[in-house]
Amino acid sequence: MSESLTIDFLYKTPVGRFILKGLVNPKVSKRAAKILSSRMSATFVPSFIKKNNIDIEDYIVPEGRFRSFNDFFTRKIKPGKRAISDSAFICPSDGLLTVSDISETSVFNIKNTSYSLKELLGNESLAGEFIGGTALIFRLTPSHYHRYVFCASGKIIDTIFIQGILHSVKPVCHETFPVFIQNSREYAVIDSEEYGKIVQMEVGALLVGKISNKGYVAGDEVRKGEEKGYFEYGGSSIVVLTKHRFDKAMSSSEELPVKMGTDIESIL
């Protein structure tokens, strides 16, 4: 079943809604995460590599084999396989990039949920600062490398965690869906050296995806290309907000394949 058909089934049918409420139960997610961290789950790795055409030669493989599926999913890449550009603003991860101008009426579809900028950030005042700027959304599929770095150098102003929630009402932007999900989100507000205030946000996957950041706090100095964290299993997304308006050639619906460390200015 394709991803779109699965989402339609979960959201639009009585049986699907019943299953969905069980799947987003924290106890179910914790059990799923425990299974994916078990030694038994390592047996899933070879078929996953083959199905997703992953070139395992790019990655560091522990002596013997990966201890679990999550051990494989959070694998590290070999030195030199992701060159960090000398530019001031880089792609924080591998993924499929979409770029949108930010206006007061902007709505962003991330992980099958639509957000206004205020809903995405959970902060109306902060959202207002980025009106007229640019949103860069990096969608990571299960086949992508799931570690990510800071996209720019600067000082962290604040770090925010937003717990995912499940509503049983119809939001305006999803009138056809009888339930509504907001994924867990974690972001850093950074005073960057070249681009001023930016936001770098991680959006967790619906079911078992987990954001594992390194514990940076306000006041910390960070460097472009420095590892920020990683996602455990599940397709995930990274959102970067900047007040800078790029002179981009791509449409807001186009997805551009990118690699971690690539100069963003050079591809727009």
Percentage, residues of the chain above pLDDT 70 = 80
For residues 37 and 262, the model is more confident at 262
The per-residue pLDDT for range 60-97, each reduced to its tens digit, is: 999 878 999 999 999 999 999 999 999 999 999 999 99
The predicted structure's pLDDT at residue 12? 67
- Tell me which residues are annotated as active site: 94, 236
SS3 219: coil
pLDDT of residue 176: 47
Question: Which of 98, 111, 102 lies closest to 180 in space, CA to CA?
Answer: 111
Name the 3-class secondary structure at 2: coil
Residue 28: pLDDT above 70? no
Encoded amino acid at 31, one letter: R
Structure token pair of residue 82: 């992701």
- E strand intervals along 84-216: 95-101, 107-110, 113-116, 134-140, 147-149, 154-162, 165-167, 180-182, 185-192, 196-203, 211-213
Q: How confident is the model at residue 165 (pLDDT cuts 50, 70, 90)?
A: low
171-209: pLDDT as tens digits: 444 444 444 567 889 999 999 989 999 999 999 876 555
pLDDT at position 180, please?
54
